[in-house]
Amino acid sequence: MTLSETGRSSDPVVTADGLGMTYRAPVRHSGPGAAFRSLLRKEHRDIEAVADVSFAVGAGEIVGFIGPNGAGKTTTMKILSGILHPTAGQARVLGFVPRRRQHEYLTQIALVRGSQPTAGPAELTVLDNLHYRRVLYDVPLSRFHANVEELTHTLDLATILGRQVRALSLGERMRAALAIALLHRPRVLFLDEPTIGLDASASAAFRRHIARYAADTGATVLLTSHYMAEVEALCPRVILIDHGRLRYDGSLPALATNLSPYKLLRVTTADSVRAVDWDAYGQLDATDSQQVTLRVPRRDVPAVTGRLLAEVPVADLTVADPPLEAMMDQFYRAGVA
Ligand SMILES: Nc1ncnc2c1ncn2[C@@H]1O[C@H](COP(=O)(O)OP(=O)(O)OP(=O)(O)O)[C@@H](O)[C@H]1O
């Protein structure tokens, strides 16, 4: 079920039309003799990783691709970037069929995988890898120097440019991988969990850089992430998949409204909170000497707020959605309806 839809650009850069991917995975039994028997008789089972997924992403959109573990996000990214052939449906990016992996296509996109940050041959230095990329992607030398200067500044590369990739820490490797991915100024960026393993400041720098890159170049970005703060900061639109199927396509605030039927009212009282019968206003979520947090159904928030202000000595009152991480966690554990 698709919960809701938002309008989208009339000029899609990325389209997925009924995409499907069924992996054929070998079945391995355990126990004595199993390895030998599996040589004689090969068994397989089908794993439907992506099923009938359709969406379109317009030029310049930054879209969060979210869902629980094993939902099919990476598989979809791999299809869109041309690494995997879908077993059903069609993908188109910038008018190209990704699986053909034409040079003209590959030089306009980039895929960054946080779980496997590839900064090029490990024996080469980061700068040599950037040169290597320049040659592979036909980047003119004058543009190369300007781009490297900018990337060095924004991704803080100065101390790692001259170092071998193999000796970099995960965070340093990630920064190098991102610089290499952005060197040719791709028009479409596929970012698959790009900030895994980065510290808070490196993640924030990464987010700033992606936002600026997209604003400056008009690039289209698809981002998978389990960090809701990251998705919230970067993505006006999210696509949610679960068990390989598209379940939601729309804004994150609208998803939050769909997911959580209540809001949190945080009330600070002038007197002790004990003097008030809070059950008459909502469900008590947390309390301390002068502050309580109430869960109140969304539709009742205006009326309850009015009654609180009229009947309770309120010093301060705020209304907020429950934390997004907590909502998504609950949602993923309960499964998508
Ligand atoms: N090469 C493969 N062979 C068989 N099954 C696979 C293969 N790659 C992925 N799968 C299965 O396909 C499903 C979707 O995997 P995918 O990696 O696309 O999920 P994901 O949403 O990216 O998950 P995560 O958030 O854990 O990275 C999972 O059930 C996974 O086990």
Q: Which domains does the chain have, with CATH numbers?
A: 12-257 (3.40.50.300), 261-320 (3.30.70)
Query: Which range, 100-104, 154-158, 328-332, has the best average confidence (pLDDT)?
Result: 100-104
> What is the token pair recorded at 176?
């190098």
For residue 176, give every residue at least 6 positions away whose Cβ sits within 8 Å of its Cβ, in sequence order, or none. 117, 119, 126, 129, 157, 160, 165, 168
What sign does the dihedral 294-295-298-299 (CA atoms) show? Answer: negative
Confidence of residue 10 (pLDDT cuts 50, 70, 90): low
Q: SS3 helix, strand, coil % of the chain, rounded to 5?
A: 40, 30, 35
**Measured between alpha carbons, how far is residue 181 from residues 111, 177, 178, 191, 336 in Å?**
7, 6, 5, 10, 34
pLDDT for residue 58: 95
Q: How far is the CA of 65 from the centre of ligand 1 (A)?
A: 14
Q: How far is the CA of 23 from the centre of ligand 1 (A)?
A: 9
Q: How far is the CA of 295 from the centre of ligand 1 (A)?
A: 37
CA-derived radius of gyration, the chain: 24
> What is the token pair recorded at 76?
């979809």
Instruction: Name the residue with the closest Cα to ligand 1, atom 28.
Output: 70
- Of ligand 1's listed atoms, the one at least distance from the Cα of 25 is 4
Q: Please provide residue 110's backbone torsions phi and psi, each rounded to the nearest 5 degrees.
A: -150, 145
Lowest mean pLDDT among 82-91, 118-127, 312-321: 118-127
Q: Residues 161-198: pLDDT tens digits? A: 999 999 998 888 888 999 999 999 999 999 999 888 78
Q: In this structure, are strands 109-113 and 188-192 parallel, antiparallel, or unpaired?
A: parallel
Q: Who wins on pLDDT, 256 or 315? A: 315
> Does residue 23's CB lie within 6 angstroms of at least one atom of ligand 1?
yes
> Does residue 73's CB lie within 6 angstroms of at least one atom of ligand 1?
yes
> Does residue 70's CB lie within 6 angstroms of at least one atom of ligand 1?
yes
Q: Who wins on pLDDT, 290 or 215? A: 215
Q: Please provide residue 327's backbone torsions phi and psi, each rounded to the nearest 5 degrees.
A: -65, -45
The model's pTM is: 0.83
DSSP class of residue 141? H
* 3-state class (DSSP) for residue 199: coil
Nearest in space to 28 (alpha carbons), one of 11, 9, 41? 41
Q: Which of 74, 190, 223, 231 to mutate to test the pocket of ligand 1 (most atoms within 8 A of CB)?
A: 74
Look at the block and give the residue holding tokens 């094993």. Answer: 70
Nearest in space to 119 (alpha carbons), one of 171, 192, 65? 171
pLDDT for residue 7: 40
Instruction: Name the residue with the closest Cα to ligand 1, atom 23.
Output: 70
Residue 188 CB coordination number (10 Å) = 23
Instruction: Name the residue with the closest Cα to ligand 1, atom 6.
Output: 23
DSSP class of residue 169? -
